[in-house]
Every structure is written in structure tokens, then in C-alpha cells.
A and B are shown apart, each in its own frame.
Chain A
Amino acid sequence: MGLEKLKTVLKNERTSKSLELKTPIIGASGTYGYNSEFEDFIDLNCFGAISTKGITIEKRLGNDGDRIFEVQNGLINRIGLENVGINAFIKEKLPVLRQKNIDFLLNIAGSTIDDYEKLAIIAQENDIKALEVNVSCPNVKQGCLEFGLNPNSLFELTRKIRRNYDGFLIVKLSPNTSDIKALATAVEQGGADCISAINTLRGLGIKIDYVGNKFLKKTVQGGLSGTCIKPVALYMVNQIRQAVKIPIIAMGGISKLDDLFEFILAGADAFQIGTANFIYPSICSNLAFELNDFMTKNNFKDFEHLKGAIINE
């Protein structure tokens, strides 16, 4: 496809574990489905990977009521981790990923440490190359947020998953914290190979209409995503970069080529695209082509050189 220049290797220098990507552009969890849902819109060979919808042990139906609330330059979601569950994923979704040769990160979430360990074991048994652990989902009443915001429990959780899983281990961090550096350090020390960030920010959407002498009110509390969160994401990625050596997959409001450059300067080694897929369903492959064109035109040999130039010049 002519995108050889975009080949990206995420490598944990300490353990030498690595993940090879065709391009540094990944479809973010919860916005890209389980496998080939976007194939009408993109060439599956023209982007790095998909991160699957967050998978739990059991099938989940998610939250009742309104799940999407639009805000200026973003949206609040409270899907509540609706997913098919790990068994159905392995039986129905994984074969399609393999048959169509789609590179993927298995995104997992749980309510207890035990859940995460079980999911890690299943990933190991099924020879899944990369695991992205969501410890930061703000939409479920109990569970993952607690692990995600406490360095000690996050260290413990990462260590336990690491013990059961030999593949490339990515931990996805929550931005809903005052000390992202402590969380990043805990994850690195716990044995993760890579950090992805950020998950959605906590947000509250309120809509008030005045109809017939009455205020009609609607409130939706959930996770905020989209271009409005980009400055927060850049800050968080930069903080994480200062705290750890392992690679960072950055996300939060990415929607154009310049955003990729900005995140590289902040410390990113690869990218995920979330909300923007809803508006431009071809964006993951389009950005790869745009990046490739830019590099060709300006004589950047490969993605490593481009990164080096942005950071050092």
C-alpha cells in the first residue's frame, strides 16, 4: 500500500517486548467496534490497529436511558461498557480479526482484580499479541475507576496481569486524577510495556428548556471526549513522558495531521483516534495517507526520523 515509511515499533527497552504496527494510527476502544465494522469506509491495511470495544468477563447490556450528549466540540457518553463478553468475543469476533488479518489490541475491563486476571489468562491462552487494560472507565458504578486512580492498587493490578500474560501489555490511564505521574510510574513498575492515555474526562451535560412556564431539565453524566479534551490530553501525555520510559499511545481529541505532530512533541509514540471516527469514518486511513504524503514530500525516511525531528529541532 506504500505506507512502509509509517511502520512503527513500540518497544519496552527494559524487557525488549515490542509491538509492531503498520502505521502509528489506531482506532480507539469503544469507537471502532470489535473487528471489521469500518471496512466499508477504510482499507483495513492502511492503519495500525484497532483497539476493541472494552471486553468484560460477562456480556453487559450497559446503561439505560440517554447514552450520548453532545457538547461544544465534543460529546459525553455513558454507554456503560455494553459488550458481548469474553467468550463471545473469542468465539465470534476473534476469528474475523484473524481471518481478515486485522491487527488489534484487546481492550479489557473488570470489576475486580480477579476479573482482570481471568481476562489476562484467556488472552494468553488465545495467543493475543497485545492487551490494553482499561483501568479508567468512568461509566460503571462499581469497579475499574478505583484501580485506575490509586497508584498502589494500580501497581498491584498491573503486576497481577503481567504474571498471567506474556504479550505486549498496555495500561490505559484515566485523566481524572491530580497526579498522573504517580499512576504512570506505578504502571511501569508493575511491569507494563506501554501506556495509553487518555480515557474520557468526567463530565456533566445539562440541557434546560423553558416551556410553558416550566423548566424542562435533562442531565447526563459520563465521559467527555472529542476535540475539546485535546489540551488536557496533551498535558497528560507530556506529564507521563516525564515520568516513564515506556512508549506512550496518545489519544484525546485527535482529528487532523497537526494534532499528531503536537502529540509527538508532548511525548507520543503512536496515536488512537476515537470520537473523530463518528464524524469522519475514513479518518484512520486518511490520516495515515496524509502523514505518509507529508513525510514523502519532506524527505522523512521513516516515522522515527519524523519524531526525532519534531522533538529535537
Chain B
Amino acid sequence: MKSKNYIGKIKLIEKINHDVYKLDIQSSLNDCKSGQFVSVLCPNKTLRRPFSICDFDKENKILTILIKLKGEGTKYLSSLKEGDEINFIAPLGNCFEFFKDKNALLVGAGIGIAPMLFLKKEMNERNINNYLISGFKADEEVIEGSDETIVGGSVLDNIEKIIKEKNIDVIYSCGPIIVLKMLSQIAKKLNIPCYVAMERVMACSIGVCRGCIIKLVRDNKIDNFSVCKDGPVFKGEEVLWD
């Protein structure tokens, strides 16, 4: 599907914990998939800001994103009101791959839960067995919607046990790079495919500026891949982590 520049309207803006806002945006965008993201114009900043798609209501054409406060861009977005216009490019990037008969483990660390919630919904619609585990630093940071929520400890602490108990065949994850790296290593050890949604500072968000590059080992060769166009979803085993 082609990416386009949309002007949407904020249908709902809601503070869902101490520093995360949920935005429902209505526009003419009529399709998108989990793993994809949108790139939002922040008039007070030079660059657009990328956010994972957390939900999409096809019937009403409402897109949901979760915004965690970081700096000036997210502060601006959190100050928007219902009815305000919002300029975004969508849908961007590749998407998660589905496997009909595989048991899926979804791991969301912190705000990384956003694309996992959309992935879970898409899997449920396709009757794919899935289990979403998410981890947060503290109670006031929790975002609802998981099958299991860990507060305080690491989301990876019991992961091997869960993988065995639930007969997991494939893993999907989004979160800080260190979590994605460790999870990929665990998956490799257990010989399970692991898909990770990566983040990089972006300028163009459509693959031309080469600002958001990561290195992958593919066909025994190291090469550059853009997180915005080739990703953000990659196979963990291919990522050159350091």
C-alpha cells in the first residue's frame, strides 16, 4: 500500500498513565498492518516523529498511537486537543509476518508494547494462538492489554520457562535495544525465530536519507538496511547488534 501524507483529526486524547498519552486519529487512511508506523509533523521541531501503530479501526478509519513523553516533540503532541488537526505520513515500513499454526509469544518492553497490542489484535482475528507479556519499570508506567504484566523486574526473567510451558514456536518483540538483543540470543539458543521491531532516529522515514541505518548479516554478507523502509521489523538472528 502506498504511503501518503494525511491530515487527520484528533478524535480522542487520553492520558493513560503518568507519561503516556493515547491518541485516536481519524483520517482517510483506510488500511495498515501491525509493525508499521506513522510519522507525525511537530511544527515546533525540524523533523517528524515516528510512532508505532497501536490499533486501527477499519470501519471508522481511526488510527491509535501511544505517545510517551520524551522531549519537545512529544510534549507538543500531548498538548493537542480533540478536534485539532494532525499531519502524518502513513503507513510506513514493513509489517510482522504471521504463521497460521504457530504459537506466538509477544514481548513488549515499556512503550514497546504499542505495536504488540496491534499485533495481538490481528492474531486474535486470525485465530492464531498468542501470549503477550509486557514489562514496565514501575506501577505508574503500566499500559494495559497484556496476558501477563511484569512490574519492576525484567520482562526476560522467566522468558525461557514461558517459551517451554506455552510451546512457543515464534517470538515477536519491541522495546529497548538491549531487550531485543538478549531476546534474540535466547531465541537463537532455543532455535525459535524471533522478529524484532527496531528504532532509530529518522529524518525522511521513507528510505532515502540513509539516516536510520542498521547492519544485518544476510546471505553471509554485512549490508546496510534502513529501519524506516526495510524495517522496522527484522529477524533478530540477522541483526548485527554491536
Contacts and interface: CB of A to CB of B under 8 A. Distances in A.
For the complex, would chain A's binding face be called helix, strand, loop or mixed by DSSP majority? loop
Interface string A47-79: 000000100000001100011101111110101
B124 interface: no
B127 to A, nearest CB: 33
B2 A67 contact: no
B135 to A, nearest CB: 21
A201 to B, nearest CB: 15
Given A62-B224, A70-B45, A70-B47, A79 B4 contact: no
B203 A278 contact: yes
A82 B203 contact: no
Contacts of A72: 46
Contacts of B208: 31-33, 37-38, 53, 277
Contacts of A279: 41, 46-48
B47 A278 contact: yes
Interface residues of A, number: 32
A282 B5 CA distance: 8
Nearest to A33: B208
A135 to B, nearest CB: 21
Nearest to B89: A281
Given A70-B46, A73-B46, A281 B206 contact: yes
10 closest cross-chain pairs (CB), A and B: A68-B211, A33-B208, A278-B204, A40-B2, A82-B210, A67-B211, A278-B203, A68-B203, A37-B208, A79-B210
A275 interface: yes
Interface in B178-235: 201-213, 223-224
B209 A66 contact: no
B114 to A, nearest CB: 22
A53 B201 CA distance: 20
Given A37-B206, A68-B203, A278-B205, 20 more contacts: A31-B209, A33-B207, A40-B206, A41-B5, A53-B208, A61-B224, A62-B213, A62-B224, A66-B201, A67-B201, A67-B210, A67-B213, A77-B203, A79-B209, A82-B213, A82-B224, A279-B47, A279-B48, A280-B5, A281-B206
Contacts of A40: 2-4, 206
A88 to B, nearest CB: 12
B5 A62 contact: no
Contacts of A190: none
B45 A77 contact: no
B46 A277 contact: no
Interface in B35-90: 41, 45-48, 89
Contacts of B41: 279
A247 interface: no
A37 B48 contact: no
A110 interface: no
A30 interface: yes
Interface of A: 30-33, 37-38, 40-41, 53, 61-62, 66-68, 70-75, 77, 79, 82, 226-227, 275, 277-282
24 contacts: A31-B208, A31-B209, A33-B207, A37-B206, A37-B207, A37-B208, A40-B4, A53-B210, A61-B223, A61-B224, A62-B224, A66-B201, A67-B201, A68-B209, A68-B211, A68-B212, A70-B47, A73-B46, A77-B203, A82-B224, A277-B208, A278-B205, A279-B48, A281-B89
Contact of B211 (A61, A79, A281): A79
A66 B200 CA distance: 9
Contacts of B213: 62, 67, 82
Contacts of B45: 70
Contacts of A33: 207-208
A280 B88 CA distance: 10
B4 A77 contact: no
Nearest to A71: B46
A75 B48 CA distance: 12
Given A41-B5, A75-B47, A68 B207 contact: no
Contacts of B206: 37-38, 40, 281
B202 A68 contact: yes
A172 B44 CA distance: 31
Given A30-B209, A75-B203, A281 B224 contact: no
Given A68-B209, A278-B47, A31 B204 contact: yes
B201 A77 contact: no
Contacts of A73: 46
A40 B45 CA distance: 24
B54 to A, nearest CB: 23
A68 B5 CA distance: 22
Contacts of B2: 40
Contacts of B46: 70-75, 226-227, 275, 279
A74 B45 CA distance: 9
Nearest to A276: B46
Contacts of B4: 40-41
Contact of B209 (A61, A77, A226, A280): A77
